[in-house]
Amino acid sequence: MLLFQKRFHAGLRDGSVTLTFRRWKKPLVRPAGRYRCHPIGVLEVDALAQVTVAEISAEDARRSGFASKAELLAYMLEAAPEPLPPEATVYRVELHYGGDGDRVETALEASLSEDARRELEKAVAKLDSSEPWTLRTLLLIREHPRVAASKLAPHFDLPTPEFKARVVKLKKLGLTQSFEVGYEVSPRGHAWLTVAEPPKRAKAKVRPPKAGRP
């Protein structure tokens, strides 16, 4: 993920914010990469460079959503109090808004109407027609949120690309959400699990035999 405070979200959406400076120890994004920015969707990185504080211009500050370079530097000092002398290096990230990505709006719905439940039952039954995998996949993601697909795929003895393709099908139904690393069951997915997950059976209590009986 690439995090921004709420005050920058409108500018990211309308294209007035196309630059950010980060005090990373190492680059956490790459050019052409797509990164989720909750809750607005996806940001696409156009360029990445390491620059000195002295090289940051007033125009750079404006493109970052600040009125001046001084305001930008003050903001960066709030995030990390270490000094920012002119020779200090920071990462300059050029980016643009990539839309709401592959997020399905219904994924955020925490309850299911009767019609939605019936539609999901039909869609999931179709996915499970040759092999029942949807419930097991959702339960695995619920148990291991934000874990890389490469670590989840072996649970199914599947190649990582094939596992990812399955999760994409669940995502299109609004049952999962993707992150820069791994997945989570969406609010809609949790609502579906209350319907699809078998109830836990209570263990039978073994009563001791009555006196006089073998």
Report DSSP letters for 28-54, one per residue: ---TT-EEEETTTEEEEEEEEEEEEGG
Residue 201: predicted pLDDT: 52
Residue 106: predicted pLDDT: 79
Residue 79: give the domain boundaries: 6-97
Does residue 1 belong to any structural domain of this protein?
Answer: no
Q: State the DSSP code for 105.
A: G
Does residue 212 belong to any structural domain of this protein?
Answer: no
Residue 82: predicted pLDDT: 87
Q: Do 107 and 187 contact (CB within 8 A), yes or no?
A: yes
CA distance 55 to 33: 25
Shared domain for 14 and 93, answered yes or no, is yes
Break the chain down into helix, strand, coil percent, rounded to 5.
40, 15, 45
Which residue ranges in the chain fall short of pLDDT 50?
Answer: 202-209, 213-214
Among 54, 76, 97, identify where a domain stops.
Answer: 97
Among 50, 75, 97, identify where a domain stops.
Answer: 97
